[in-house]
Structure 1
Amino acid sequence: MAARPMPDSESLPPPDSFARRVRRLAGQYFNGEEKRKARLLAAGLLALTLLQIGIQVRFNVWNRDFFNALEQRDRPAFFGQMGLFVGLTLASMATAVFQLYVRQLLQLHWREWLVFRLQHRWLEGGRHYQLGFLDGAADNPDQRISENTRWATAMAVELAIGLITSALMLVSFVGILWTLSGPLHVALGGTEFDIPGYMVFAALLYAGIGSFLTWRIGRPMVQANVRRNEAESDHRFALVRIRESGEGVALIRGEADEERGLRQAFLHVADVMRDLMLSERRLMWLTSAYGMLLTVFPVLVASPRYFSGAITLGVLMQISSAFGQVTTSLNWFVDNFPRIADWRSHVERVAELEDTLEAELLTEAGEGIRIEEGAEPDGREVLAFRDLQIAQSDGSSLIAEANAEIAAGERVLIVGESGTGKSTLFRAIAGLWPWGGGEIRIPPREAMSFMPQRPYLPLGTLAGALAYPQPADRFPAEAQAAALTRCGLKHLVPRLAETERWDRILSLGEQQRLAFARLLLHRPRWVFLDEATAALDEENQDTMMRLFREELEGTALVSIGHRPGLDVYHDRTLSLVRGADGAKLTARRRRDRRQPEGARDMAGQGGLRRLLRGARG
C-alpha cells in the first residue's frame, strides 16, 4: 500500500453562505443539548421586548394628549399627563433593566456553550496538533475561541433583538401613522386625486433611499472588518510568540529583527484600519445628514394638513413621533450596517474554525494508518507495526516499511539518522499522525505514557505539574515528595504548593527529571521516550534510566535516542535505515539486560519503591 500524503485545502468542506452559517450557529445552540435553557431565555427576552414596545405605543398616545393639553392650556389635563409620564417612564426603566439582564444571560450562556464546544472539538484526539498540518486550516484558533465567539454571540443577540423590535415597532406604528396622516389631496394639471395614508409612503421612500445609499457606501466595510480581524490576530500571535521564545531571542540578540517583524505586522493592521476608517467616514456623512433631516422631514410633510386645520398640534406631534418610529424601524439596516459588517467578520472566523474542525483529515474511509487498540487475540499485550508506511507533507514516503513487534515488559531502543522519521513514528503510535498506511497494534491508551524531549508543564502548582494529567490530589503528598527526591529534585519538595510558570523557572534538565518523577506516580505499563534525557549529564541519565530496573521493573520501554550508552538499558535495538523510497525499520542486535558499566548503586531504593507504592495505596 502506498503511503498517503497529508490533506490539503481540498479536504476542507466548501464554505457555506453567510446566511447558512448564521442559521447553523443559531440552530446548533437552540436545538442542541442546551436548547431548554436557550429557548427559555430567548422567550423571556422576547416577552420583555413586547412589553417595551407596548409601553412605547402608549407613549405615542401620551404624546398626542400632552400636546393637546398644552395647546388648550388645560392645567389639570397637563399635570395628569405628567403623572402618566412618570408612570410610563418607571415602567419603561424597569422593563429595560430586566430586558438587559435576560439579554446578558442569553449572550453569556450562548458564548459559554460555543466556547466549550469548540474547545472540546479542538482538543479531542490531538486534533489541535493535527490541524497544524492541514493546508488551509483556520489560523489562530485561540483568538477565534476566546474573542470571536464573544462578539459572534453577543452581537447576534443584540442585532436579533434590534431587528425583532424594529419589525414589531413597524407593525405597531404604521397603522397609527396611516390613520393619523389621512389622505393627501394632489392636483396635477387637470387631474386631482387623494393619496391615503401618505405619510406611510413618505416614510417608506425616506427609509428606502437611506438604506440603498448606506448599502452602496458601506459595502466595503464587510471585507475591511474581515481583514482587520485577521491582521489583529496575526499581530497578537507575533507578540505571544516572542514572549514565549524570549530566552532564545535574547540570547542571539534578535530583538532588532523581531522589532522589524512586529512593525510590519502592525503596519498591516494600520493599513487595514485606514481602509475601514475611510469607509466609516463616508458612511458618517450619510447617517449624520439622514438623522438631522429626520427631525424636520415629517413635520414638513404633515404641515399642510396642520395649517389647513385638519389636525391639531398634538396630532402633528403624534404623527412626527409615529413617523420617527416607522422610519427608525425601516432604517434598522442603515443604523446598524457598521455593526453588521463587524459581526459578520466574527461569525465568518468562528464558522471557518468549525469548518476546519469538521474537515476529514482522511478523505476516504479506510485510508491512513489503522490503529488497533487492546490485546492480541491470544491475550498478549504488544506494540506491533504491520506493513506500516508513514508519509510526509509532500506525499513522499518517510518510512517505507516497518514490521516489528515489541512485547510487554520489553525494552527497545529505536535509532536512525536525523530525518528518518523516528519522532514521527512515535506520533503515529500516539494516534497523532494518521497519514500513511498499514496497521499499528497498541496497548490500551491508559497504559501508555509519552515523554518528549521538552516535557509539558501546565500552568498552576508544582504538584499539579507533577501529577499531570491527573489532579494533584489523586496522589498523597508523601508520594509526590518521594518521587521528587528519587529523581534528584528534593529541593523542590517545599515548593509543591506554589503556583509559578514552572516551564520558565526550571531548567530543561530539571523538567526532564520532573517528567521521570511523574512516571513514578502514574506507573504506566508502557513508556515511550523521545530524547527524554537529552538535557541530562551522563550521571543523571544513568540515574533516570535505572528507574526502569529499580522502580518500574515490569514497564515496557520504547526509546528514541542518539546519546552513547543508552543501548545498555534496552534489550534490543531497532534501526531506521534511510533508503531511496523511505526508511526501513530493521532489528540490529539484541542485548541481555545488565547493569551499565560504571553505574552506581543507590542505597535504600527498594525501601523507596515500597514507600511510593504504599503512598499510592
Structure 2
Amino acid sequence: MFVSFFPSPRPFFTSAALWTLFVVLFWFLAAKDLGYLVWLENPPADAPPVIGISVFWTKPFLWFYLYYALSVGIFAGVWRVLSPQPWFAWSVLGSALIVFVVYFQVQVSVAINGWYGPFWDLVQAAVSKARPVTLSEFYVQILTFFSIASVAVTVIALNNFFVSHYLFRWRTAMNDFYTANWPRLRHIEGASQRVQEDSKRFAALSETLGVNFIDAVMTLIAFLPLLHRLSANVSEVPVLGAIPYPLVTAALLWSVFGTALVALVGVRLPGLEFRNQRVEAAYRKELVYGEDDANRAQPPALSELFHAVRVNYFRLYFNYLYFNVGRYLYIQTDNIFPFIVLAPTIVAGKITLGPLNQILSAFGQVRDSLQFLLKSWPTMIELMSVYKRLRAFEATLVGGSLPELDQQFLKNRQLA
C-alpha cells in the first residue's frame, strides 16, 4: 500500500512529521519575522488589514511561500539521496503541493472572514440608516468577494485535476506491485477485487482523510487566534458563565462531546464493514467459479454464503440506526449552537452585524476542525475495512498468518 509509492514508508512518514513540527515551530518562533532579510518584511502593527484578492501577494504571504518552498526542497533533497524511488516526484513533491493547496484554501477562508466585517457593517449602516450608503460602495464590497472567490475556484479546480492524477499514480504503483507478485497472491480470496478495487479505494480514501486532517490542523492554527481576538465583546456564555477564552472553550468542549458521542455509538462499525466485504467477496467468488465449473455455485452452497451476507447486513443496518440517530441529532443541534453561545451578547446589544458574522464564520471553522473525527467517521470506517483487507492480502508476501476467514477460504478451495 505504501512501500510501492513512498520511499521507506515508516522512516519517511516519521521524519515528515518531525520535520513539519520543526518548520512550523521555527516559523512562529523566528522565521515569520525574518522576511526583511529578502525585502519581504511584515507591515507595521498599526497598518490596516488588507481586504480582498491582493492579500495573497502581500509581502508576508510571499515570504511564507518562499519559506515553504525552501522547507520542502531541503526535505525532498535529503530523501532523494537516501532512498531513490520511481514515484518520488509524485509521492513526495506531489504530497507537498497538495498540503500547500490545503494551506492556501484555509487562507482563502481567512480572507473571506476578513471581508465579512466591513461588508456586514455596511449592510447594518444601510438598513439602520446610521449613515448614507451608496450603491457603488455596496457593489465594491460584492466585487471584493468575487475577486477572492475567483482565486478559490481556480485553485480548487486545478487542485482537483492534480489530485485525480496523483491518486491514479498511487493506484498504478500498488497495481504494479501486486501484479508483480500475482503468482503468490492469486490464491487469496477475492484477490482480483483487492488488486482492482481495494487499491483504488485505499488511495482515494487515504488522500481524502489525510487532506481533511491537515486542513483541520491548519484551520485551527489560522482561526483560533482570530476567534480569540473576535471574542473581545463576549464576556460570558450560557451555563459556563464568565470564563477565560469563552468562545474557544465552548467550541472545544462541544466538539469533544460530539466526537466522543460518535466514537461511542460507532465503535462496532469498522469490524462489521470489514466482515461485510469478506462475506460479499466470498459469495461473489463462488458465483464466478460457477460460471466455469458446473459443480460449483450449487444452491446449498450459495444459500449458505448468502445467509452470511444477509446476517451481516442486518447487523450493519441495526448498528447504523443508532449511530445515525446520535450523529444527526448532534449535527442538527450544532447548526444553532453558535447562536446559543452568543445569546447573552446578542441580546445585550454588545455586537454589530460585522463582528457577529466574523465570529460565526470563525466559530464554525474552529468547530468543523475540532470535529474532524466526527465528520470523517463514515470514511474512516470504510478506510479501515479496506486497509484490513489489503493487510491480510499482503501478509502472504511477508510470511504472516492470514485472518481466519482467509484461512477457511483456502482450506475450502483445497478440499474442492
Q: Normalising by structure 2, what TM-score?
A: 0.71
Instruction: Note if contact 1:180-1:319 (Cα within 8 Å) is conserved in structure 2.
Output: yes
Instruction: Note if contact 1:181-1:302 (Cα within 8 Å) is conserved in structure 2.
Output: no
Quote the residue 2:218 is aligned against. Answer: 168
The two structures, once aligned, show a CA RMSD in angstroms of 2.9
Quote the residue 1:313 is aligned against. Answer: 353
Instruction: Note if contact 1:183-1:197 (Cα within 8 Å) is conserved in structure 2.
Output: no
- After superposition, give the CA deviation of every residue in 1:357-399 in whole Å (9 maximum; x if it has no partner): 12189xxxxxxxxxxxxxxxxxxxxxxxxxxxxxxxxxxxxxx
User: Aligned-pair distance for 1:267?
Assistant: 2.6
State the AA in 2 paired with 1:179.
Answer: R
Instruction: Note if contact 1:179-1:197 (Cα within 8 Å) is conserved in structure 2.
Output: no
Q: Aligned equivalents of 1:273 and 1:96: distance in 2?
A: 37
Quote the residue 1:331 is aligned against. Answer: 371
Give the total of aligned pairs. Answer: 322
- After superposition, give the CA deviation of every residue in 1:295-319 in whole Å (9 maximum; x if it has no partner): 2211221232233333212211111
Q: Aligned equivalents of 1:212 and 1:321: distance in 2?
A: 24
User: Aligned-pair distance for 1:51?
Assistant: 1.5
Q: Aligned equivalents of 1:163 and 1:261: distance in 2?
A: 44
Instruction: Note if contact 1:183-1:195 (Cα within 8 Å) is conserved in structure 2.
Output: no
State the AA in 2 paired with 1:35.
Answer: F
Quote the residue 2:114 is aligned against. Answer: 61
Q: Aligned equivalents of 2:258 and 2:237: distance in 1?
A: 28
Structure with the bigger percentage of helix: 2
Instruction: Note if contact 1:167-1:329 (Cα within 8 Å) is conserved in structure 2.
Output: yes
- Structure 2 vs 1, CA of residues 208 and 220 (structure 1 numbering), >3 Å: closer, same or farther? same
User: Aligned-pair distance for 1:277?
Assistant: 2.4
Secondary structure of the corresponding residue to residue 358 of structure 1: coil
- After superposition, give the CA deviation of every residue in 1:507-549 in whole Å (9 maximum; x if it has no partner): xxxxxxxxxxxxxxxxxxxxxxxxxxxxxxxxxxxxxxxxxxx
Quote the residue 1:72 is aligned against. Answer: 125
- After superposition, give the CA deviation of every residue in 1:475-534 in whole Å (9 maximum; x if it has no partner): xxxxxxxxxxxxxxxxxxxxxxxxxxxxxxxxxxxxxxxxxxxxxxxxxxxxxxxxxxxx
Quote the residue 2:264 is aligned against. Answer: 216
User: Aligned-pair distance for 1:64?
Assistant: 2.3
- Structure 2 vs 1, CA of residues 279 and 23 (structure 1 numbering), >3 Å: closer, same or farther? farther
Quote the residue 1:467 is aligned against. Answer: none
Instruction: Note if contact 1:22-1:347 (Cα within 8 Å) is conserved in structure 2.
Output: no
Instruction: Note if contact 1:41-1:105 (Cα within 8 Å) is conserved in structure 2.
Output: no
Q: Aligned equivalents of 1:282 and 1:108: distance in 2?
A: 36
Confirm or deny that 1:154 pairs with 2:194: no
User: Aligned-pair distance for 1:61?
Assistant: 1.4
Secondary structure of the corresponding residue to residue 351 of structure 2: coil
Which deviates more, 343-352 or 268-277? 268-277
Instruction: Note if contact 2:6-2:91 (Cα within 8 Å) is conserved in structure 1.
Output: no
Instruction: Note if contact 1:49-1:99 (Cα within 8 Å) is conserved in structure 2.
Output: no
Q: Aligned equivalents of 1:22 and 1:327: distance in 2?
A: 32
- Structure 2 vs 1, CA of residues 207 and 186 (structure 1 numbering), >3 Å: closer, same or farther? closer
User: Aligned-pair distance for 1:54?
Assistant: 1.0
Q: Aligned equivalents of 2:363 and 2:242: distance in 1?
A: 20
- Structure 2 vs 1, CA of residues 81 and 221 (structure 1 numbering), >3 Å: closer, same or farther? same
Quote the residue 1:178 is aligned against. Answer: 228
Quote the residue 2:291 is aligned against. Answer: 243
- Structure 2 vs 1, CA of residues 23 and 207 (structure 1 numbering), >3 Å: closer, same or farther? farther
Q: Aligned equivalents of 1:154 and 1:331: distance in 2?
A: 21
Paired residues for 1:193-342 under 5 Å:
194-245=242-293, 248-249=294-295, 258-342=298-382
Confirm or deny that 1:107 pairs with 2:160: no
Q: Aligned equivalents of 1:225 and 1:144: distance in 2?
A: 15
User: Aligned-pair distance for 1:183?
Assistant: 6.6
- Structure 2 vs 1, CA of residues 77 and 307 (structure 1 numbering), >3 Å: closer, same or farther? farther
Secondary structure of the corresponding residue to residue 182 of structure 1: helix
Instruction: Note if contact 2:273-2:385 (Cα within 8 Å) is conserved in structure 1.
Output: yes
Secondary structure of the corresponding residue to residue 356 of structure 1: coil
- Structure 2 vs 1, CA of residues 238 and 330 (structure 1 numbering), >3 Å: closer, same or farther? same
State the AA in 2 paired with 1:65.
Answer: P
Secondary structure of the corresponding residue to residue 311 of structure 1: coil
Instruction: Note if contact 2:5-2:173 (Cα within 8 Å) is conserved in structure 1.
Output: no
State the AA in 1 paired with 2:358.
Answer: Q
Q: Aligned equivalents of 2:312 and 2:343: distance in 1?
A: 47
Q: Aligned equivalents of 1:112 and 1:196: distance in 2?
A: 52
Quote the residue 2:54 is aligned against. Answer: none
Secondary structure of the corresponding residue to residue 236 of structure 1: helix
Confirm or deny that 1:121 pairs with 2:181: yes
Confirm or deny that 1:85 pairs with 2:141: no
State the AA in 2 paired with 1:48.
Answer: V
User: Aligned-pair distance for 1:185?
Assistant: 4.3
Which deviates more, 318-327 or 21-30? 21-30
Structure with the bigger percentage of strand: 1
Secondary structure of the corresponding residue to residue 72 of structure 1: helix
Quote the residue 2:154 is aligned against. Answer: 94
- Structure 2 vs 1, CA of residues 351 and 96 (structure 1 numbering), >3 Å: closer, same or farther? same
- After superposition, give the CA deviation of every residue in 1:127-176 in whole Å (9 maximum; x if it has no partner): 347xx5xxxxx532222111111111110011100110111111111111
State the AA in 2 paired with 1:40.
Answer: L
Q: Aligned equivalents of 1:360 and 1:321: distance in 2?
A: 50
Quote the residue 1:348 is aligned against. Answer: 388
- Structure 2 vs 1, CA of residues 181 and 24 (structure 1 numbering), >3 Å: closer, same or farther? farther
User: Aligned-pair distance for 1:27?
Assistant: 5.7
User: Aligned-pair distance for 1:115?
Assistant: 1.3
Q: Aligned equivalents of 1:232 and 1:26: distance in 2?
A: 31
Percent identity, aligned pairs only, is 22
Q: Aligned equivalents of 1:296 and 1:25: distance in 2?
A: 44
User: Where does the alignment leave 5 or more consecutive residues of structure 1 unmatched?
Assistant: 1-20, 133-137, 362-617
Q: Normalising by structure 1, what TM-score?
A: 0.49
Quote the residue 1:540 is aligned against. Answer: none
Instruction: Note if contact 1:182-1:196 (Cα within 8 Å) is conserved in structure 2.
Output: no
State the AA in 1 paired with 2:232.
Answer: G
